[in-house]
Amino acid sequence: MKNKFLFTCGDINGIGPEISIKLFNQLLKRNFSEHYIFICPANVFSYYQKLVKFSHPYKVISNPDESSPQQLNLLSMPEAKIRIGTPTKVSGCTAYESLLTAIRILKSKKANAVITAPISKHAFELAGIKYPGQTEILAEECKSKNYLMLFLSREMIASLATIHIPVKDVSKSLTVKLLQNKIQTLIESLNSDLGINNPKIAVLGLNPHAGEQGRIGNEENEKIIPALKSFSKNAQGPFVPDAFFANHLYKKFDAVLGMYHDQVLIPFKMMNFNNGVNFTAGLPIIRTSPDHGTAFDIAGKGIADFTSILSAYRYAKIISANRLHLGR
């Protein structure tokens, strides 16, 4: 397979198209063999091309077989009305169709990976798209049950046992089997996708003080500790979450598994807000994304930082190379 990387437009009213085109400006200065395919309406590309002063050749293509290196390949979509800084039904539909197009191409093995720009959950709701995020769409389209939201950076690799659910539902969602599946998926991904052999994983508790032996909740005794018994060589815990991060214990582990969204994403984003990467592990295809949102408040101003999407592209390359090496 040639080195072909797909990029979705994300929400066209946010910063997704802007940071993507800023990235292409940089990549096309030095990478002469890779194919960059941007799945985006032509009128949206034209608007942001002028905003960021895109300075390289590009061509409009109808399928990935027509792509070429040394230029941007615009896999065009139907024209979409832009309303800068505002989530709309149109922006939700466009982001969704861009993602589905990328998934179809990857499933047909005509590209290495997709780097997805941020979407708006509110725009998805306006469009009647009933998914809490792109991760769940990818998992369903790939028919993957044991998938994992993984956050990558030089400082820390973090993952989640539960994803986009209310905090009140976390406890009942956790089961021994779910945690075993998440730990197993994490071990496999660290090994095959990131080249970390025999990884060392820290598993956090759910309750304050990790439950204090059942005094402040029983989830640790009833769910987390039993799940850990199957992975004594690779996983330790449950750790008291606040003390774990306060004492920088994450530096002693290859990855951290948290029980719910904000438990690990607050410390992760404090360390990596401009360069963190969201990777969906456990899929047959490769998807990375910048670890930030649509930033509607600065959309259309030309000031968005593209560092995180650059990191997402770099991790997509690493993961793709590792999988190719293993013949996957």
Half-sphere exposure (Cβ direction) of 315: Cα atoms closer than 13 Å: 31
Q: Which tens digits make up the pLDDT trace of 112-160? A: 999 999 999 999 999 999 998 999 999 999 999 899 999 999 999 999 9
Neighbouring residues of 60: CB distance < 8 A, sequence distance ≥ 6: 42, 74, 76
Backbone phi, psi, residue 311, to 5°: -65, -40
Question: Residue 183: its pLDDT value, please?
Answer: 98
Beta carbons of 315 and 278 less than 8 angstroms apart: no
Q: Which tens digits make up the pLDDT trace of 173-231? A: 999 999 999 999 999 999 999 999 999 999 999 998 976 888 888 999 999 999 999 99
Residue 305 has pLDDT above 60, yes or no: yes
Question: Residue 155: its pLDDT value, please?
Answer: 94
C-alpha–C-alpha distance, residues 160 and 183, integer Å: 10
C-alpha–C-alpha distance, residues 197 and 195, integer Å: 6
Confidence of residue 239 (pLDDT cuts 50, 70, 90): very high
User: What domains does the chain contain, in order, with CATH numbers?
Assistant: 1-144+283-328 (3.40.718.10), 157-273 (3.40.718.10)
Instruction: Report the pLDDT averaged over residues 248-257.
Output: 97
Instruction: Report the pLDDT averaged over residues 42-52.
Output: 97
Where does residue 70 fall: left (phi above 0), alpha (psi -120 to 50 degrees), or beta otherwise?
left
Question: Residue 211: its pLDDT value, please?
Answer: 67
Question: Residue 328: its pLDDT value, please?
Answer: 66
Residue 311 has pLDDT above 90, yes or no: yes
Which residues, in sequence order, are bridge partners of residue 323? none
217's tokens: 């909740």
Residue 13 has pLDDT above 90, yes or no: yes
Q: What is the DSSP string of 285-307?
A: S-EEEESS---GGGTTSS----H
C-alpha–C-alpha distance, residues 280 and 208, integer Å: 28
C-alpha–C-alpha distance, residues 74 and 63, integer Å: 10
DSSP E strand stretches across 49-178: 58-61, 72-77, 113-115, 148-152, 158-160
CB atoms within 10 A of CB 65: 8
Half-sphere exposure (Cβ direction) of 302: Cα atoms closer than 13 Å: 8
Arithmetic mean of pLDDT over the chain: 95
Beta carbons of 151 and 276 less than 8 angstroms apart: yes
Residue 274 has pLDDT above 90, yes or no: no
- DSSP assigned state of 62: S
Residue 327 has pLDDT above 80, yes or no: no
- DSSP assigned state of 225: H
Beta carbons of 196 and 204 less than 8 angstroms apart: no
Backbone phi, psi, residue 164, to 5°: -95, 70
**H-helix or E-strand spanning residue 319:** helix 307-325
Amino acid 91 reads: S
What is the total residue count of the chain? Answer: 328
